[in-house]
Structures are given as C-alpha cells and as structure tokens.
Amino acid sequence: MKVLFVHNHYQVRSGEALVFEHDRRAVELAGHEVITYTRDNRELDDYGPLQRLTLGARTSWAWDTQRALSRLIERERPAIAHFVNTLPLISPAAFWTCATTLCPSSTTCRTIGRHVRQRPFYATARSATSARSTGLARSVIHACYRGSRAASAAVAVATALHRSIGTFAHAVDRYLVPSQFMARTLARYANIEEHKLIVKVNAVTPDPGCQILRGEYLLFVGRLTVEKGILTLLDAYARLQDAPVLRIVGEGPLHAEIAQRVAGDARLQRVELIGALPHEQAVACIREARALIVPSQWYEGVPLGLLEAFACGAPVVAGRIGSLAEVVRHGDNGLLFEAGDAADLARVIELLLNQPELASALGARGRESYLAAHTLEQNA
C-alpha cells in the first residue's frame, strides 16, 4: 500500500517533527511505500510584502499547497494520507484535497501572568455555535498564537471557517491521538465521533539503551515557557536542601528571566542553563540523568522526552494532569505531583532522592513500559 505523509515543519525542530519521522519509519517497517509532502515555516523568511499580506488567507486556504498536493495525489495515487501538522502553510483545506487544529495556540491553555488557565479545548460542552465562536474570539484577545493578535486572528478565522464547512467532521476519516485522555477530550469537547478516534502511542527510535548507573543531576528538557512548568520547577528546587545539580536543556521566551533569577538567587546556584541541544545530545543527557522532571501545567500530548526517559531507564517525575497522569503511573513507572504545586514537586523530588532503591525500581519499570508499547516495531 502507498501512504502519503504530510507535515508542516516549524522553524524550530519540534517533537512533532520527530513523530513524523518515526511514523514514516514505522509504516516503511510494516512493508508499505511512503511518499511525503512537506512545507517548512522557514519559507516565511523569504516572503515578500505581498506574500506576507496573503498569509492570513493562506492559513485558512493555502491555494499553492492545494495545487501541489493535488498534482502529487494524481500522480502517486496513495491509499491513505496521514497528516501531522497543517499550520500555517498547508492549511486544513488539504483535508478536502485528499477526499486539527482545534486550538489556535495548539496548547489549549492561556497564560495569565505566571499562571496557566487550562481550557477544555475551545469548544464547550454546550453545542451552541456561539460558545465556540466566543472561545476563538478569546484566543485573539489574549494573543494565544505566538503572542500575536494578528496571527491568532488568522488561525481563529481558519478554524472557524473549517468548522463551519465541516472539514474536521467530514473530511477526516480518522484521528490518531497519543492517549485515552486526548481521545476522551476530543470526543467530548470537539464533537468528534468516537469511532474516528484511535489511540496510537508515540515511538522512541533508535532505542537509546538502558543506563544502569545514573548521574548526579536532575534534568528538565523542553521549551522555556510558563505552561511547561519551568517556573514551578525553579520554585520547587529552591526549597530543596543539598539538592543535586539541576540542568535545564531548552530555549524559549523565559530564558532571560530564568538566567537573571538563577544568577540572583543563592538557592539556585547549582542550576545550569544548557540551552538548546541537538536531539541526540539531549537524549544523552536524559540517559545519564538521575531523574527527568516534567512539570507541565497544560494538556501535553505525550512528550517524547518522557518516553525517551522510559527507554533510558531514567526515573520520571511528572505533573498530575492530562495525558501525563495516564502514561506515568504513580509509584510504578514514575512519580506524580500536583501540577503547578511547587511544594508538592519538592516533596516528590526529595522522596526520589532519599530512596535510591525506589528510583532504580521506577527506572526499570519505565524501561518495561517502553519495551511494551513504544518501540518502532510496536508502533508499526
């Protein structure tokens, strides 16, 4: 069978790009032929003034993509088209070309100062169209996408348009989601029929191998934003006595603020800001970490870093929220704390540091979780 993979790459390589590559390899491993169509947001750097003026319209209906994709489909005749991301250069119009972008920010949450307000997507339990429209309007008011009201408006308009013409309900045959939590949420709040929702967990490949002897540092890997919980982690770390080094791998809008705080707070003198690393180096950091901390305060999918920690046998401490509380089983293959609660996070970290036998057992069970569900062969 021939399968078409479609993806819009971000300017900064993301977990979605890795999932795109892993899924391609899994389908090829299963003996099928894969063809690809991709766009890259780095193309925007070369846009002239006229092209930039049309970007909002392209976000709703990317006519250049539709022409190219239509020609590709006519030539290759794939049996299935698999989409990972369409924002903004592919657009949901591509679904019609072959026969979701339900939250403009892709996080379904809004940050207010240093607090995160999690929204159950933008549709509510009410079926009224006005309720959905209000949610989209709020995404513009609060500049949910890239901190820009103009960009948020373009995505909100695209979402509203494709909802109104039934793109998400009728032009998509199946939605692959990484957890039961995400399936339940989409069924309830996005009005997607349950039979269209299939849980397909993500894979980690190649197998990084299980590290028995752990290093002496705690690790955070991710984007430095409020919803990722990095500020909660710093608050928790400041409460710890004789804590090991905390290494922070990643970049983001809070980098300068975090650097200033680390420099000015004696309790954070053992925090190391590493910055962004190539994926292979980030995995190497996870492999040798004493524990990976995933302090997210929003409805993550299932972060690849968490699954990579499982594969490496590194203990995981994660926030009790959304899919994280489904994948991490407290006291079995990891530890959970109340998301956003620095005191509870500090308590759980201390528990892990004071009980090396527990840490070893959690790492071993995490490795078992990886082998049971997250290898490339399992994904295929």
pLDDT in tens, 3-12: 999 999 988 7
Residue type, 183: A
pLDDT at residue 211, as a whole number: 84
> Counting beta carbons within 10 angstroms of the beta carbon of residue 270, is it exposed (0 to 12), middle (13 to 18) or buried (19 or more)?
middle
Contact (Cβ atoms closer than 8 angstroms) between residue 225 and residue 296: no
- Domain(s) of CATH 3.40.50.10860: residues in the chain: 1-99
pLDDT at residue 111, as a whole number: 54
Which residue in this structure is represented by tokens 């049996």?
Answer: 79
Q: Which two tokens stand for residue 293?
A: 């901390």
125: number of Cβ within 10 Å: 8
Distance CA 99, CA 199 (A): 23
CATH annotation of 217-379: 3.40.50.2000
Q: What are the angstrom distances between the C-alpha of 192 and each of 97, 152, 174? A: 20, 23, 10
Contact (Cβ atoms closer than 8 angstroms) between residue 108 and residue 121: yes
Three-state DSSP class for 43? helix
- State the chain's maximal CA–CA distance in angstroms: 64
pLDDT at residue 267, as a whole number: 96
pLDDT at residue 124, as a whole number: 29
Pick the CATH number of 1-99 from 3.40.50.2300, 3.40.50.920, 3.40.50.10860, 3.20.20.60: 3.40.50.10860
Q: Which stretches of the chain score pLDDT less than 50?
A: 100-104, 120-133
pLDDT at residue 13, as a whole number: 79
- Domain(s) of CATH 3.40.50.2000: residues in the chain: 217-379
Residue 298 DSSP class: S
Q: Note the pTM of the prediction, 2 decimals.
A: 0.86
Distance CA 62, CA 333 (A): 44
